[in-house]
Structure 1
């Protein structure tokens, strides 16, 4: 009788068939979260295969960077020889005309390398993203090709620039973008000790990139510090459109089928309610993630997942202890603090229709908060000391009052 795991004739403990694992994993992701276990139990597959797919689903839902899921996939689908890893300083096999010199990162679908074209030592460094052989399937490949077309159409100063694409000798698609040398957003803020105006300026850069993508019919839906890099001179780049959703399919005629492609990768810490529940994805999902990102930027905190289904949302605006005083919101006057709090609460409403209508609203409010006051100061007025009874009159009003007093004195003198 054939082994249902696909490992017929192999010794006990051999890994299950890669294609069957991928197919069942993709199918389970299409089910509501609360029904996935029942779906697997009713699938009729071998217990070993079912348990392996379940472990992938658990890793998929775990908080943290995508390499957690990549590690789980590698554990399940590892084949003899897959453990070959280039030693530090060794080059990976050529990727088309590109030499891959260093692994920068790895996710569930792809690896990203630092490399350059050919043997030209003067050629600029680039980032080369190539589909993982053990993740290759029709659906995943379609998702990867969709990212390539999306990036090719997005030309913005705050989005990593598309440069090239092609196929490796093994037939795996790859994508080449500019290499952004910098830190992920949260690490940059901590390392540089960026003050609050600087933090809000970086938030505006993220919003500008997201708003641009929305105007071209693309929802990023994976906005988080990991996908935002900042260079040493403060220039920000938004990365990884790997799970982006296309709203205007007419602008991307070469992409067929749903842009989800069964790949529902998300990060719980930055997932919108509709992502968690499997609801429709719209630009409002990005607005929710921008609200979470802004809260992280100004307080160092995120809203726990279990609190996101309750309204009104109780948001803790007390900065984390690790934040420097200059980076927090302590120096904001009451008007600006109220505007900032209202913007975050508005963006984090449970129902998408209750959130700001566009990213432009977040940009406008942030710009208003950043605009200088009449006195050109960010700080709220300090507490008054005993006996300090400063006049509340402005300079013009004071001049008018003094002038009126002068007229009265002159009239009295004339009458005398």
Structure 2
């Protein structure tokens, strides 16, 4: 037989008027469970008291505390001068529901003043001791500059638990803000630090459950406000017990301060309280810091009956902070404005709409709509302070409508039926009207479409004729540019290409050709800009110039065009040598597996070419020129070495790269930096340095020759030159451990290049 819960037995017993029948029911329902029987009987006795928390207002049964410092209310064992362990009590500064707080002086091992909290004599119930131990362990778990630190914990000779914590000489949060007249940004910055402290506690698995101004003390440290969160006396662990004893909250009690209590706390379901309960309390704190009062007046909550209090907290939506400020009377508005260093007439307008959204999001009755963490709330406030968009947003129109619909189901149903009838009637009328005029309009529409088609055809024909004229003019200009370039009449060639870009700017070939001229002259930034324009227009990747475009775009920092080209090359299925070579230059964009597949394809090409020095052994058509075969063989050796290096096949890469340096081709020697990288990966430190020095020597020789001859481009093709510079820079980072500075000789070459075009 399943035994009912303590709560269900208690409520069922309340419905039985006869004492004897009630007792018999409880005995039967508990089914021999002595602990359950004891708990239910205790609840029934509490309910029969004249003063109980269910039938009387909360204020009626709040304990009446003696004024702080009233020595008659303090046990004689704990008067000033009494020693508690190594701590000498100085004065009592606070009193809670179950404990006293003293200023004490630690005698050893160091002398310092501390705050000592001890359970009141006669209140050592299991629940109170458990709460005290929870507070002690909760604070001990945390280490944050905005949370009071715990120094010690022990029991007195009379077995009363106490703990010793940092003595915070501060004032409550709201009192500090008003007394120091902090403006809105200063208050928000201070609030952000409090959010971070609460976030730290949540990360340690602790919910405070009683965040309020008196539990956040603020003092000045080095001239700046420093907030300290104190009093974790009602804290509970998230998902686990803090002590070996059970911290049990009776379902007829509410833990926390009503003005700062979340709706789920007011529901008195302890298993339903999580970190978002503290988010609600932070929202109340922010509301009070901004407006000078909490959302619900404490006097109203204290005078309300128990059920009315719970209803206010759980169901009533408070006014927005801006609305609260706009409704203050003149005297109170003047005080609030002065405390925030504002003119009274600007008080309401000073509350930005974003602050309304932040506060109301934290105060949402539905905790799923609050901030998920205290850190998220702090981040939103920080975004507001930096004039950035905030994450909080007002409830959508649909969300507000669904809430309204739930409250007014009958009205909504009636209005909906009427609206549907009206809409259907209007729809039928409109349909009939449209059918009546459709036939009349068909001929006019058809005639208009025919006229529009004729006009479009005429415009297209005219545009095509204009395009043909521009294309013919562009062809002439491109031919002129090539002829002048072949004759090394650089200014005339550049002028012809530039004119072609003006005549037909959407034609990729004009940008490619001018980019090639700029690259040949050493004007790499201008060439990269032209190539990027060609990529933007969408030129075919099979263009012969493609083998050099990727390197130049990468070297000049045209990242967007380089990325676009990379994606196109990856998906290219062409087997022509230039496309394969281009993919080789972009191996850095490939995964090791893709690079390995690329290396295999180039190796197949090398096998097909055979020995370039033995034309009889090659598989190329005999019409191929022998020097072309040798040149192409060197290129593919280099590309194969590159791909092997990117795939992690360092030994094979080293072999192919060395072979490419030995082959007789126009880029001979540019593999030195890649050889240095391969040696470095294989652990050959000396060989890596030696290869890098060879790379540096080649760089110096080319630069010195170009500067001596006042040339903007080196003696080797510009494609190989850019490739070499990129790899030399990477080798310097890998082998030498630093990025080389731009060589001043390169800037000299660039000035020579500009002068070449200007001449």
- Tell me the TM-score normalized by structure 1: 0.67
Distance 2:234 2:165 in 1: 17
Distance 2:204 2:380 in 1: 23
Distance 1:300 1:187 in 2: 10
Q: 1:345 aligns with which of 360, 381, 406?
A: 360
2:273 corresponding residue in structure 1: 281
Contact residue 261 and residue 313 of structure 2 kept, 8 A: no
1:110 corresponding residue in structure 2: 99
Contact residue 186 and residue 225 of structure 1 kept, 8 A: yes
SS of alignment partner, residue 64 of structure 2: helix
Distance 1:368 1:144 in 2: 38
Contact residue 287 and residue 359 of structure 1 kept, 8 A: yes
SS of alignment partner, residue 236 of structure 1: strand
Q: 1:323 aligns with which of 332, 336, 339?
A: 336
Distance 1:124 1:214 in 2: 30
SS of alignment partner, residue 235 of structure 1: strand
Q: Against the structure 1 CA distance between its residues 94 and 142, is the aligned structure 2 distance closer, same or farther, given a 3 Å change threshold? A: same
Alignment of 1:129-140 (within 5 A): 129-140=117-128
Contact residue 299 and residue 328 of structure 1 kept, 8 A: no
1:143 corresponding residue in structure 2: 131
Q: Against the structure 1 CA distance between its residues 119 and 359, is the aligned structure 2 distance closer, same or farther, given a 3 Å change threshold? A: closer
Distance 2:274 2:358 in 1: 19
Q: Against the structure 1 CA distance between its residues 337 and 110, is the aligned structure 2 distance closer, same or farther, given a 3 Å change threshold? A: same
Q: Deviations over 1:166-217 (max 9, x none)?
A: 1111110001000000111111112111111111111111101101111111
Higher RCO (C-alpha 8 Å, min separation 6): 1
Backbone CA RMSD of aligned residues: 3.7
- Tell me the TM-score normalized by structure 2: 0.38
Q: Deviations over 1:18-44 (max 9, x none)?
A: xxxxxxxxx99xx99xx9xx9999835
Q: Against the structure 1 CA distance between its residues 285 and 189, is the aligned structure 2 distance closer, same or farther, given a 3 Å change threshold? A: same
Over 6 Å off, 4+ runs? 38-42, 328-336
1:24 corresponding residue in structure 2: none
Contact residue 311 and residue 349 of structure 1 kept, 8 A: no
Distance 1:213 1:85 in 2: 32
Cα deviation, residue 94, structure 1:
2.1
Contact residue 70 and residue 106 of structure 1 kept, 8 A: no
Distance 2:267 2:347 in 1: 36
Higher helix share: 2
Tell me, which stretches of 5 or more residues in structure 1 are unaligned? 1-26, 75-81, 374-416
Distance 1:46 1:359 in 2: 38
SS of alignment partner, residue 324 of structure 1: helix
Distance 1:365 1:46 in 2: 46
1:359 aligns with 2:377: no
1:100 corresponding residue in structure 2: 89
The number of residue pairs the alignment matches comes to 321
Alignment of 1:373-384 (within 5 A): none
Q: 1:71 aligns with which of 64, 76, 89?
A: 64
1:239 corresponding residue in structure 2: 230
Tell me, which stretches of 5 or more residues in structure 2 are unaligned? 1-5, 18-39, 302-310, 326-331, 389-759
Q: Deviations over 1:300-348 (max 9, x none)?
A: 1212266544476532424352313462788699898121101111111
Distance 1:307 1:41 in 2: 29
Contact residue 182 and residue 230 of structure 1 kept, 8 A: yes
Q: Deviations over 1:366-396 (max 9, x none)?
A: 10121268xxxxxxxxxxxxxxxxxxxxxxx
Q: Against the structure 1 CA distance between its residues 44 and 166, is the aligned structure 2 distance closer, same or farther, given a 3 Å change threshold? A: closer
Contact residue 148 and residue 228 of structure 2 kept, 8 A: yes
1:303 corresponding residue in structure 2: 295
Q: Deviations over 1:53-73 (max 9, x none)?
A: 5389968x339xxxx94426x
1:399 corresponding residue in structure 2: none
Q: Against the structure 1 CA distance between its residues 353 and 164, is the aligned structure 2 distance closer, same or farther, given a 3 Å change threshold? A: same
Highest Rg: 1 or 2?
Answer: 2
Q: Against the structure 1 CA distance between its residues 308 and 145, is the aligned structure 2 distance closer, same or farther, given a 3 Å change threshold? A: closer
1:293 aligns with 2:306: no
1:189 corresponding residue in structure 2: 177
Q: Against the structure 1 CA distance between its residues 312 and 222, is the aligned structure 2 distance closer, same or farther, given a 3 Å change threshold? A: closer
Distance 2:362 2:347 in 1: 20
